[in-house]
Chain A
Amino acid sequence: MLKRRIIPIELLSGGRLVKTRGFHDPRDVGDPVKSSKVYSDQDADELVLLQIDREGRQLVALVEAVTRIAEYCFVPLTAGGGISSLDDAAGLFTAGADKVLLNSITYRDRSVLTRIAERYGRQAVVAGIDVREEEGRFVLYSRCGRQRESVTLGAHVADVVAAGAGELMIQSIDRDGMMQGYDLGLLRKVVAASPVPVIAAAGAGHFLHLKEAFDAGADGAACGSLFNFGDNNPLRAKSFLKNQGIPLKRI
């Protein structure tokens, strides 16, 4: 039986890992290579590394980080943040990434998504969708929460899946760093609309939140603050969830 996944998210900025709140106020949470090795030693199921800088040689920095991380971590690694071409993706795959995450480009030119999926397989392509709740409606944002998009959530999910995304990572900007739980309403909506696996992101503050996300249909629960600002690690999460009847991988 396929297991659910606990997926630490690492945000790369200026060569360090940071954690944000509502996509603002980055706080240092460690060194990218050391932290990744720690997560790997703590039996994380997968890692997501997202470059959040948009100035300078940020893609080069991302490739560098992936290359160094891949020397020590033997778990599936997803890399993203500013990917806008097949070449960008190719560089990351060569460096050691197993999947790439695309967000902004999926609003501007979905053919990039298609080309990556055709070359590497759709299971190697994750579409990241960032959402704010405004006046009771879900509004999509690109460019790290800076650009409001007009396409509806349902339409965009359909678009990216049709274009080749093998997985979706759905992130609530409002919940980012708040440790109050995932936006379950948002999650359920996407799970219902998506034929591909969905990873919930943003909001986990304790292990019960992970259970809630899995019960709402998430295949993976991505966590940032949970492991950086709590006495938690993936191993403890696994024990807790196992006691709640949610099986995770057995090592």
Chain B
Amino acid sequence: MPALLSPAGNLSRCSKCGLPETYETLEFDTQGVCNICRQQEFKHGAIDWAARKTMLEGLIEEYRGKYDYDCIVPFSGGKDSTFTLYHLVKEYRIKPLVVQFNHGFMRPNLLANNERTLRRLGVDAISFTPNWKLVKRLMREALIRKGDFCWHCHTGIFAYPMHVAIKFNVPLVFWGEPSSEYTAYYDYRDDAVEEVDENRFNRFVNLGITAEDMRGMIESDFPLDPRDLIPYSYPPLRDLKRLRYRSVCLGSFIPWDVKRQSKLIMDELGWQGDEVEGMPPGLYSYEKIECAMQGVRDYLKYLKRGYARVTQMTALDIRNGRMQKEEANKMIAEWEGKKPPSLEVFLDYLEMSEAEFNGIVEKLVVPPHKPDFQTIQWGRRTPDFERWYREPKN
């Protein structure tokens, strides 16, 4: 095992893709290659995708026509859920119920994409928008406890569709990409379908905080009705079992390929990418376009762990042989590590100063990384910045 303890600020990285040791669940093997790379090697070389496709066909037929909808497709409108919906409707002619959890930060281009996608495919869709006042309080608490303010979004996106499954009596739920594409909470090398269940929800989706945990954390200063947190709680297993639910990732049955899939939805649905804070415009325009707060999210990751989205995207490209490390490093140096303009909006929502924000984040830094709060420059605004929701001033 190579010696991997590095001096503060200088992180050990995967010898193949460059992801740093602070990346969650990353493990280096004796060659210094990370487990995410190894998982991808297995995915391309050892999984019997023909057999998986047969499994998918069997699964779809098992549920087809027996309920008011053949399945639920949780939908954010990003590249993954859009492709998932498209693939299931076009290739398998399923009748889906599209379920969207509106986290509150949907960008104008995304909304236009969604309207276009849903109309072109001809599907029924429901959208749920949670209580904004509660969302703001949840963001604050999650930021303080975890340095990740998106708790309401992570939990809402994965729990709410399960409530809908029960309410509408639609047992089959198709998610998009398996988590093993990006992390090792689940491993492609287990050669198993990733079950998107409560175990997975607790493993990493909810940041280790359930709705019941959160209740006690905020109720002393927030007028909380216990029912307020239902959309964020995973429904009881007995209700899901009674439904005979099956909740899986499409990416467990077909090999996930974001570049190919993004191009497909652009061509077939007119899906449009968008400029995203902290990323070189044009190059990864399909990535994470669905949320106006994505820049703050990435910024937090950068402060805590010393890397952000450019590192992740280039790592994917390096791993797939689409980019060299030198080019990646150049891109990272140029685009990563800037303060996103959305930070101003975020601080406004939470009525928090930047000093308070930095003070919170400082406590959450993951060693051996050490952020330098002083030298960070403002990044570029996206064209729709002025159209993002701002709280009325009075």
> Chain A interface (Cβ within 8 Å of chain B)?
16-17, 28-31, 34-35, 37-39, 41-42, 179, 206-208, 227-233, 235-236, 239-240, 242-245
Contacts and interface: CB of A to CB of B under 8 A. Distances in A.
Given A16-B216, A41-B203, A231-B146, A242 B27 contact: yes
Contacts of B203: 41-42, 235
Contacts of A28: 216-217, 220
Given A28-B216, A39-B208, 18 more contacts: A29-B213, A29-B217, A30-B216, A34-B212, A34-B213, A37-B202, A38-B209, A38-B213, A207-B367, A231-B148, A231-B366, A233-B204, A239-B24, A239-B27, A239-B184, A243-B21, A243-B26, A244-B4
Which are the 9 A-B pairs with shortest beta-carbon distances?
Answer: A30-B213, A41-B202, A28-B216, A31-B212, A34-B210, A38-B202, A34-B212, A231-B147, A239-B25
A231 B185 contact: no
Contact of A236 (B1, B25, B367): B25
B148 A235 contact: no
Interface of B: 1, 4-5, 12, 21, 24-28, 144-148, 184-185, 198-199, 202-204, 206-210, 212-217, 220, 304, 363-368
12 contacts: A30-B213, A37-B210, A38-B208, A41-B198, A41-B202, A207-B366, A228-B145, A230-B146, A231-B366, A239-B25, A244-B4, A244-B5
B12 A243 contact: yes
Nearest to A27: B217
B237 to A, nearest CB: 10
Contacts of B365: 206
Contact of B202 (A16, A42, A230): A42
Nearest to A206: B367
Contacts of B304: 231
B21 to A, nearest CB: 6
A31 B213 contact: yes
Contact of A229 (B24, B363, B367): B363
B204 A235 contact: yes
Contacts of A38: 202, 206, 208-210, 213
Contacts of A35: 210, 213
A243 B25 contact: no
Nearest to B217: A28
B16 to A, nearest CB: 15
B283 to A, nearest CB: 28
A92 to B, nearest CB: 23
Contacts of B202: 37-38, 41-42
Given A41-B202, A235-B204, A30 B146 contact: no
A201 B197 CA distance: 32
A229 B21 contact: no
Contact of B208 (A16, A207, A233, A239): A233
A229 B206 CA distance: 14
A245 B198 CA distance: 31
A68 to B, nearest CB: 12
B145 A229 contact: yes
Nearest to A228: B145
B187 to A, nearest CB: 10
Contacts of B206: 38
A235 B28 contact: no
Nearest to B4: A243
A38 B21 CA distance: 24
A230 B208 CA distance: 10
B216 A235 contact: no
A235 B185 contact: yes
B210 A31 contact: yes
Contacts of A229: 144-145, 363-364
Contacts of B185: 235
A9 B21 CA distance: 26
A249 to B, nearest CB: 14
Nearest to B200: A41
Nearest to B368: A208
A6 to B, nearest CB: 13
B25 A231 contact: no
Contacts of A42: 202-204, 208
Nearest to B24: A236
Contacts of B363: 179, 229-230
Nearest to B199: A41
Given A228-B145, A235-B185, A235-B203, A208 B217 contact: no
Nearest to B219: A28
Considering residues B28, B206, B367, which has the most beta carbons from chain A within 10 angstroms of its beta carbon? B367
Given A42-B202, A42-B208, A206 B217 contact: no
A207 B27 CA distance: 14
Contacts of A207: 366-367
Contacts of A240: 21
B15 to A, nearest CB: 13
Contact of B216 (A31, A206, A208): A31
B73 to A, nearest CB: 25
A239 B206 CA distance: 19
Contacts of B28: 243
A161 B210 CA distance: 39
A29 B215 CA distance: 10
Nearest to A241: B27
B6 to A, nearest CB: 10
Contact of B1 (A37, A228, A245): A245
A75 B342 CA distance: 43
Contacts of B5: 244
